[in-house]
Amino acid sequence: MKNVHTRELAATIDEIRPWVEAAWTGTPQDPFPRDLIPTWRKNPPGVAPLALVPGVTRLGHGPFAFRLQSWDGQRWRVTVESEGFVGWHGIDLDPTPRGCRVTHTIELELAGPARVVWPVVIAPLHDWAVEAIFDRLEEALETGVMPTVTKRPIPWPASTWYAVVNRVLRARRRPITARSAPAAS
């Protein structure tokens, strides 16, 4: 499974880079729609909590976990560490005459229940989240401040799945919150 989203922004790579570096931090600079699906970043003791250390830094959103593979200022890569989802996702920043093309790519081999869960439940939420990230980046580049509220509504059926997933996770005492983030290892 491969899923790609691209948007051209009227800003340089240098202007976009700090916002990408803040992704999955849960801080006010985080471009992920964290007001609806909180994000997290974990490092082991002795490593700065927000550091980006390849092979060490774990990050994610809701119940999904990733491990940083690399970040060179233009290419962000993480390995997916969630059961049934084997692969990677990343962000690429490429210069254009107008500014910068931001590309989000996820490539996964789906196993077991993930083969049904991805296309039916996760893909609609994922597509919304990536487009919301792009919206939030555009606003932050215009204003200098990352918005606290995600303006892009979660479309149906993704909004229904979001509510169902949250209900199930709450019943299992694992709501989609930063507190559900796995410990660093």
Considering only the C-alpha atoms of the chain, give the largest distance between any 2 of them, rounded to a whole number of Å.
50
Please say if the pLDDT value at position 158 is more than 80. no
Token readout for 41 is 């970043």
Three-state secondary-structure class, residue 11: coil
- What does the alpha-carbon distance between residue 85 and residue 52 come to, in Å, rounded to a whole number? 22
Span 66-89, pLDDT tens digits: 999 999 999 999 999 999 999 999
- What residue spans define the domains of the chain? 2-180
Output the pLDDT for position 178. Answer: 40
Output the pLDDT for position 181. Answer: 45
pTM of the full predicted structure?
A: 0.86
Place 182 in a pLDDT band, splitting at 50, 70 and 90.
very low
Three-state secondary-structure class, residue 160: helix
Check: CB of residue 27 under 8 Å from CB of residue 50.
yes
Please say if the pLDDT value at position 93 is more than 50. yes
Write the CB contacts of 170 (distance below 8 Å, at least 6 apart in sequence): none
Output the pLDDT for position 183. Answer: 52
Output the pLDDT for position 165. Answer: 67
Span 101-116, pLDDT tens digits: 999 999 999 999 999 9
Output the pLDDT for position 155. Answer: 80
Task: Report which of residues 115 and 162 the model is more confident about.
Answer: 115
Write the CB contacts of 119 (distance below 8 Å, at least 6 apart in sequence): none
Q: Which CATH superfamily includes the segment(s) 2-180?
A: START domain (3.30.530.20)
Per-residue pLDDT averaged across 52-72, rounded? 94
